[in-house]
Amino acid sequence: MKTLFELNPALDIAAHAARFAATGRVQIRNVLTDETARELQMVLARGTPWGMAVGAGTAKPRSFRAAETRSAQGQQALAAASRSAEEHSARGEYGFRFAHYPMLDALKEGWDPDGPHEVLLEHINTPDFLGLACAVTGLDLIKADGQATLYAPGHYLGRHIDSHVAEGWEVAYVLNLARDDWHPDWGGYLLFLDEDGDVVEGFRPRFNALNLFRVPTPHCVSYVPPFAPMGRMSVTGWLRSK
């Protein structure tokens, strides 16, 4: 775990900053060294007790821990929450369903003291990573939260804007750790939308690529179809100014 978040020393910071200044979003490919990115991918794939995050409309989202998803009562509650999400989405309202491990909640509640996800969250808050984000965005970002996410077949994130700016949210980030050969037909794209609902840009899930974008901005993660052979793994969260 010592090498987690070793940044690629060859990054063209100026070019990424120019892109972010022009559009409010950027994908930084090969953001970590290959060795550390593969180590991080292994941590997520083999060492994450995936729970589920489900949201429907304006109700408070539900987070199910891994153990809950294995109990009969938890499975019933998860199925009901998922149906509600789909019903809202079918009406054109907000809904989502994906696997996750909320690293900040886990840290606060002591789920796995000194475990790999706690170490990962510490690395996201180091001067190296925050400094990179500040240099690219031109913003004074002082801390980050984070969760591990997995968009498996049947998962999606409906259109929304991340409007919690009162909490100091400035920039959303997605550290992609998908398989190297992720195919477009497998979905899981981060899509940016205009006011008419047209896609103005989309980022393919890539291995070792960092997406940064200003909030609020309309976006979604496209549906991962049943035939996708695996899920889209990433570390996601928000970079904050307070």
Is the pTM higher than 0.85? The answer reads yes
Instruction: Output the CA angle 234-237-196, nearest 5 degrees.
Output: 90
What is the pLDDT at residue 168?
84
Phi, psi of 156 (to 5 degrees): -165, 170
What is the pLDDT at residue 165?
58
The residue ranges of the chain whose pLDDT is under 50 are 1-2
The hierarchical CATH code for the domain 13-240 is: 2.60.120.620
What is the pLDDT at residue 1?
44
Phi, psi of 34 (to 5 degrees): -60, -40
What is the pLDDT at residue 5?
77
Within 10 angstroms of residue 38's Cβ, the number of other Cβ atoms is 15
Q: Which amino acid is at 157?
A: L
